[in-house]
Chain A
């Protein structure tokens, strides 16, 4: 079992809809969880991080964490074509102060 799993997609949503991206992880001790966005040919860009159960909102983005079920999700409201990118989920490895394990990413396509 991979440590961090994501559906590779592509996930296609129409403009203006809510995009829901999901991630499951195996390390129960993980304390911090991250979402990165990566445009084609660019570097990963940090969107949000969350470490408490529940929701965290930042503009059109909401991260949701459920430690009991070991999943973290990212909701993008009012999806725009500019949101089309690959979204990487990452967890902070237990017992390390800084090492992240990344999923393989979900490709999101927002259609007109």
Chain B
């Protein structure tokens, strides 16, 4: 079975540019999570969706960050404009509400470098 798919795997961009990260959750999963990981701050939850509806976006650092989930198989995280402090690894994870146990499965991540 295919796991969580993320693209691109690496992104290098200049400050001020728009960055869009993409995620395809595991088929049948109905919760989707966006995390950011840095050495300094560890793994931070940015936003999550249940059944395509945003439930908690309190971790989104500022208005430059936005996330959408137009359907059950696709989500985007957009940063506009990007800044050097946004450099991090961004993970997408998915889980199934039906199991009731909450285990999440992570994608390979997108390593973002903003120069």
Number of residue pairs A-B, CB distance < 8 angstroms: 58
Establish whether residues A98 and B108, one from each chain, have CB atoms under 8 Å apart when the complex forms: no
Tell which of B55, B100, B102, B108 has the most Cβ of chain A within 10 Å.
B102
Establish whether residues A88 and B101, one from each chain, have CB atoms under 8 Å apart when the complex forms: no
**Given A97-B50, A98-B31, A98-B50: A46 touches B104 (CB 8 Å cut-off):** yes
Establish whether residues B106 and A32, one from each chain, have CB atoms under 8 Å apart when the complex forms: no
Chain B residue contacts of A99, Cβ below 8 A: 33, 45, 48, 55-56, 102
B91 within 8 A of partner (CB): yes
Bound: A104/B33 CA distance, A: 18
Establish whether residues B56 and A97, one from each chain, have CB atoms under 8 Å apart when the complex forms: no
**Given A88-B43, A98-B31: A49 touches B48 (CB 8 Å cut-off):** no
Establish whether residues A102 and B43, one from each chain, have CB atoms under 8 Å apart when the complex forms: yes
Establish whether residues B107 and A43, one from each chain, have CB atoms under 8 Å apart when the complex forms: yes
Size of the chain B interface, CB-CB below 8 angstroms:
22
Interface of B is mostly: strand
Tell which of A34, A51, A98, A99 has the most Cβ of chain B within 10 Å.
A98
Interface residues of A (CB under 8 A from B): 32, 34, 36, 42-46, 49, 51, 88, 92, 96-102, 104-105
Interface residues of B (CB under 8 A from A): 31, 33, 42-43, 45, 48, 50, 55-56, 91, 95, 97, 100-109
Given contacts A49-B102, A51-B101, A97-B100, 16 further A-B contacts (CB under 8 A): A34-B103, A36-B106, A43-B107, A43-B109, A45-B106, A46-B103, A46-B104, A49-B101, A88-B43, A92-B101, A98-B104, A99-B48, A99-B56, A100-B102, A100-B104, A102-B43
* Closest A-B pairs by Cβ, 10 of them: A92-B102, A98-B31, A43-B106, A104-B42, A32-B102, A102-B43, A44-B106, A43-B109, A32-B101, A97-B97
